[in-house]
Structure 1
Amino acid sequence: MKKLRCAIYTRKSSEDGLEQEFNSLDAQREACAAYITSQKHEGWVLLPEHYDDGGLSGGSLERPALQKLLNDIADGRVDQIIVYKIDRLTRSLADFSRIVDTLDAAEASFVSVTQSFNTATSMGRLTLNMLLSFAQFEREVTAERIRDKIAASKRRGLWMGGNVPLGYVANGRTLKINDNEALTVRTLYALYEQHGTVRAVKAVADQRGLRSRQRSTADGKRTGGGAFDRGHIHHILTNPIYAGRIRHKALVHEGQHDAIIDPDLWDRLQQVMQDGAAKSRARKTAKQPSLLCGKLFDETGDRLTPSHSKTKAGVRLRYYVSHRLIKKSGEAKRDGWRLPAQELERKIAHLLRLRVSDMSFIGTMIPNRSAEEIRAHHKALQTLSADGDTKQVLDLVVRIDLSPGELSITIDRVQFAALIKVDPDEIDPELQSITAPFQLRKRGVETRLVLSDSPGGLDEVLIQNIAKAHLWFEQIKAGRTLSEIAKAEGTTNGRLYQVVGLAFLAPDIIRDVLDGKQPLGLTSDWCVRHTLPSNWQDQRALIATLEALPADTRIAQNPTSDFGVYRGLFTKRGQSAVSGDTRNPRK
């Protein structure tokens, strides 16, 4: 008689009761073990391994025990799966189809103790499909009922959970004022009413030592308890809960809790903030709207205003420029920011896509979520990185603050919550800001912003000059003079003499340039103003130092006096002279 190795799989959707000595998983396993014993005459043998998923939904296959079971089936260690009910295995018709394909490929099967069917027959599969369709329908209807219940409760002004806002403590289905924290909230509103900017409020709040609430997550991690950042202050100033109201998605309802801030004052401050925000200046006919208009601010609190110029060919170039440079353009010694708009928008969007595509980002933004919920939210965010729509990504940004060496992005909690279909109050306001270091690369009057988490991009000018250097050096070795090459190329002898040195860069340095992975300071301007060593090892050591130098000072450094390295390269007629040094790449 052929022996059938049977593995029992158990699952429970919630974690309630799992701490009990005999829980639902134990009950399922006991029933399945008894059924296997009754089939002992058929050669059924119970395997000792336990495949138990506690606290995990059946709407996804991303379950540790189930994945281990499917791997064991694929490896030929299991012949049959035994479950208490089919919905313990999955509630999704699509997932069930994938499981059946895995079983068929391994010539395995499964049995439900309380439901009799055989997956080897077409009628059995039809029965299973019908059962699973109803299981999936029940799951979706339950989710709809929960959402409708939350919406109805919020319309009545009830508190439905999430992160309890600063100034309140949870009291059943409503909120109770915490007097000590409420004083902090009132102080922040009073400071904004007095100063009129979030930046000024933060500066005074830091001076007074105001601190956010310290929170503890389910895994014991502590957050908060530090100084308020601008994103958190902005959230407090715009949260209608402090006016005694409850927000549900785009709607705001009167709440049953007491207000910390007078509703009239709150409404007035919202109008002040809206009036102070820059309105979009992009015309309806504009082909390239400024997607970050009104959202960029520098270290002085000055807003960066969209501007543009045109080349001789009529090409329109967009920029974000510090407002003071436009307002007082005639004054001397005015410093400020002037950043290329399209590149800045692209790299900010890329940085956001990188962050939201990290599954740990969801777990940080929305604490105390199950693994199943985090995966569902992460899947919803994949549309941002899949379709490449820069506008959709930048709509998540409410504010960007620039300062030397650092960039801070404040995420719009309402937009972000709508994207992943959660309530905005569930998002931790202290974690809605993303900071990233950056450096500046200057070429002429243009300043490029290079984010640490975004690709630096190819330096086309440097690549072209390296190609020219190799071409010209080959012509020199063939016997042409500098003057002949310069005349044919429409350049000068001096320029050719500067550029041709790029032909002796180490191969790995050239490869990094072609891949866009070179240090920020390695530009054509830097190369022609500095004499590179002939030894490749020395080149690598010198170029490695560019990573540690501020980008705006790299070009300004004085070149070393090692110009003699290339002096022997040409005769007076510009012909090649070959060195005998085996370390020299010219050989």
Structure 2
Amino acid sequence: MKVALYIRVSTEEQAQHGYSLAAQEERLRAYAMSQDWKIVKVYRDEGRSAKDLKRDQLQRMLTDLKVGLFEVILVYRLDRLTRSVLDLYELLKIFDQHDVKFKSATEVYDTTTAIGRLFITLVAALAQWERENLAERVKFGMLKKASLGEWMGGIIPYGYAFDGESFRVIKNEADIIKKIFKMGKTKGMEKIASILTKEGYRTKKGFNWSGFAVHYILRNPVYIGIFRYNDGSGKTYQSLEEQRTFKSDLIDPIVTEEEFWDMQKILDNRKHQYGKSLTGKYYFTSVLRCGKCGAYMTGTAYKYKEKNGEITKTKYYRCSNKVRTKGCTMPQIQERRLAEELIRVFDDLTKSWFSKPQAKQIVDLDESAKAAAKKLDKIRKAIDKYKLMFINDLIDIEELNNQLSVLKTQEENSTAELNKQSELKNATELSPQELENLIYHFKSVWDIAEDEERKQLITSIFSEIVIDAKVGSSYGPGTSKHFWLVSAK
């Protein structure tokens, strides 16, 4: 009879119980010889848990089984094959379908009878209970260590070295972390990764930086001396308030708590629908509104070939409503001209802000958010009403689609407005005095500021800028369009 040997060991079992691959194979070969069986293949899974069937050699064995390579599968013990009752049932089903028997060298099983199946199921259930009980004990022990501020093992965080007792800050890596936190205020994850890689920086393992690696650093509280332990529950990328965190004296902070928590607010704000506009290369995307339909203006760019053959790139803003539905007549506006016009009328836009009572100096974000939520609720009720009218044959499908097309656009704009108000509310607010100083120095700072700094200036001062232009201007970038600033908040 042709037999296949399956052997498996995890690192812990090999160290503690002597279930080495060599020892198992020796016992199985001796057993097969005693039964006068011919060994056709040996499948070895080293350092793999039996909690599931995702094991390379096990899957290869199941593939060979289906083509009739062997008639018997021989293991040292049942738990070498699986520790899950459900997985055992699945394997026995596959064995039966292909008329393959299953044997253990140290336990007596006969899978061809009902009592044999019951016995093997009971043994598998005990093996599963043992594994789950062990997992619970390990989790409890890890949680206890974490609560005491002790290191729970794993990958050493970037920026540190571990000597077995405490962490030591690696200066050059710590400098990169500080650089990442500084860039994170105005740049996205992929942009930061690209800059670090171009400047020759590498991760601890020598790889190029990725957006994932940058994001992980910006979200990791270890850089303010806090460990986290989430029981392997996949909560790492949820807000820190939803995770288990523990202060530790073993590790020195690299950034200040103020820097870290400010960064968490910034990252949380970017989760909203228009979060990309907060880190993009366009100055006005997070605040600019269309004066014709009220929708947000989005950035785009075109490349032109100059007379001398050089290629130049020019940035424009266009109404998002026009892009989606062609339902707006607002033309595209060049960013350079928009910035020039803002500077020209800047004093007129802002001079009245600080002549009002202090309570009115800054937009009442709570009231604005309430108004946006009320408007959104009204639109959604209207959508439900038209759907109900269609169901009751009060309107036809054409009228329903026409109404829903308009209402869906309004719903998107209102949702964007609500998200915007939420971003503004959660963002770090300037005091009236700080805002007044920023406005006073705006023109002089603008001239020497870089793109990211100019964007930060705009978003720090304005929550909304409304522009309008002549109707009938062509949609393409072409000639300059006549436009004007309607209002600003």
Aligned with residue 33 of structure 1, among 29, 33, 39: 29
Which string of whole-angstrom CA distances, capped at 9 and with x for unpartnered residues, describes residues 122-169 of structure 1?
111111111111111222222233333322222222222344333211
Q: CA deviation at 1:214?
A: 3.4
Alignment of 1:257 with 2:250, yes or no, is yes
Contact 2:77 2:107 (C-alpha < 8 Å) held by counterparts: yes
Aligned with residue 138 of structure 1, among 113, 123, 130: 130
Does the C-alpha gap of structure 1 residues 33 and 256 become closer, same or farther in structure 2, counting only changes over 3 Å? same
Residue number in structure 1 paired with 2:222: 241
SS in 1 for 2:109: coil
Mapped to 1, the partners of 2:196 and 2:45 lie a distance apart of 51
Does the C-alpha gap of structure 1 residues 318 and 146 become closer, same or farther in structure 2, counting only changes over 3 Å? farther
- Counterpart AA for 1:223: F
Aligned with residue 12 of structure 1, among 9, 28, 31: 9
Mapped to 2, the partners of 1:13 and 1:342 lie a distance apart of 57
Aligned with residue 259 of structure 2, among 251, 262, 269: 269
Q: Structure 1 regions of 5+ residues with no counterpart?
A: 217-221, 281-289, 312-316, 323-332, 344-551, 557-587
Does the C-alpha gap of structure 1 residues 248 and 35 become closer, same or farther in structure 2, counting only changes over 3 Å? closer
Matches within 5 A, 1:361-380: none
Residue number in structure 2 paired with 1:108: 100
Matches within 5 A, 1:513-524: none
Mapped to 1, the partners of 2:59 and 2:188 lie a distance apart of 50
SS in 2 for 1:115: coil
Contact 1:80 1:108 (C-alpha < 8 Å) held by counterparts: yes
Residue number in structure 2 paired with 1:156: 148
Q: TM-score, normalised by structure 1?
A: 0.43
Does the C-alpha gap of structure 1 residues 59 and 272 become closer, same or farther in structure 2, counting only changes over 3 Å? closer
Q: CA deviation at 1:237?
A: 4.9
SS in 2 for 1:48: strand
Matches within 5 A, 1:250-329: 250-261=243-254, 266-270=256-260, 272-273=262-263, 291-296=272-277, 297-300=279-282, 302-304=284-286, 321=298
- Counterpart AA for 2:3: C
Mapped to 1, the partners of 2:216 and 2:63 lie a distance apart of 47
Q: Which has the higher contact order (CA 8 A, sep 6+)?
A: 2
Mapped to 2, the partners of 1:105 and 1:48 lie a distance apart of 20
Deviates more, 1:116-125 or 1:29-38: 29-38
SS in 1 for 2:40: coil
Q: CA deviation at 1:61?
A: 2.2
Which string of whole-angstrom CA distances, capped at 9 and with x for unpartnered residues, describes residues 59-78 of structure 1?
22232322333233332332
Matches within 5 A, 1:485-500: none
Matches within 5 A, 1:50-61: 50-61=42-53
Aligned with residue 178 of structure 1, among 156, 167, 170: 170
Q: TM-score, normalised by structure 2?
A: 0.50
Q: CA deviation at 1:88?
A: 1.0
SS in 2 for 1:161: coil
Q: CA deviation at 1:255?
A: 1.1
SS in 2 for 1:176: strand
- Counterpart AA for 2:54: E
Contact 1:158 1:173 (C-alpha < 8 Å) held by counterparts: no
Contact 2:156 2:162 (C-alpha < 8 Å) held by counterparts: yes
Mapped to 2, the partners of 1:208 and 1:50 lie a distance apart of 45
Residue number in structure 2 paired with 1:568: none
Matches within 5 A, 1:446-457: none
Contact 1:33 1:46 (C-alpha < 8 Å) held by counterparts: no
Q: CA deviation at 1:242?
A: 2.1
Deviates more, 1:147-156 or 1:120-129: 147-156
Alignment of 1:24 with 2:6, yes or no, is no
SS in 2 for 1:50: strand
Mapped to 1, the partners of 2:29 and 2:161 lie a distance apart of 48
Contact 2:84 2:124 (C-alpha < 8 Å) held by counterparts: yes
Mapped to 2, the partners of 1:231 and 1:29 lie a distance apart of 42
Q: CA deviation at 1:15?
A: 8.7
- Counterpart AA for 2:224: A
Mapped to 1, the partners of 2:197 and 2:81 lie a distance apart of 57
Aligned with residue 81 of structure 2, among 83, 89, 94: 89
Q: CA deviation at 1:254?
A: 1.1
Q: Structure 2 regions of 5+ residues with no counterpart?
A: 231-242, 300-313, 325-475, 480-489
- Counterpart AA for 1:136: Q
Does the C-alpha gap of structure 1 residues 337 and 85 become closer, same or farther in structure 2, counting only changes over 3 Å? farther
Q: Which has the larger share of helix?
A: 2
Q: CA deviation at 1:54?
A: 1.6
- Counterpart AA for 2:35: Q
Aligned with residue 48 of structure 1, among 22, 25, 40: 40
Residue number in structure 1 paired with 2:204: 215
Mapped to 2, the partners of 1:276 and 1:243 lie a distance apart of 17
Mapped to 2, the partners of 1:341 and 1:145 lie a distance apart of 60
Does the C-alpha gap of structure 1 residues 277 and 162 become closer, same or farther in structure 2, counting only changes over 3 Å? closer
Which string of whole-angstrom CA distances, capped at 9 and with x for unpartnered residues, describes residues 428-483 of structure 1?
xxxxxxxxxxxxxxxxxxxxxxxxxxxxxxxxxxxxxxxxxxxxxxxxxxxxxxxx
Contact 1:176 1:257 (C-alpha < 8 Å) held by counterparts: no
Which string of whole-angstrom CA distances, capped at 9 and with x for unpartnered residues, describes residues 477-513 of structure 1?
xxxxxxxxxxxxxxxxxxxxxxxxxxxxxxxxxxxxx
SS in 1 for 2:41: coil
Mapped to 2, the partners of 1:232 and 1:31 lie a distance apart of 46
Between the aligned residues of both structures, percent identity stands at 28
Matches within 5 A, 1:362-441: none
Which string of whole-angstrom CA distances, capped at 9 and with x for unpartnered residues, describes residues 397-438 of structure 1?
xxxxxxxxxxxxxxxxxxxxxxxxxxxxxxxxxxxxxxxxxx
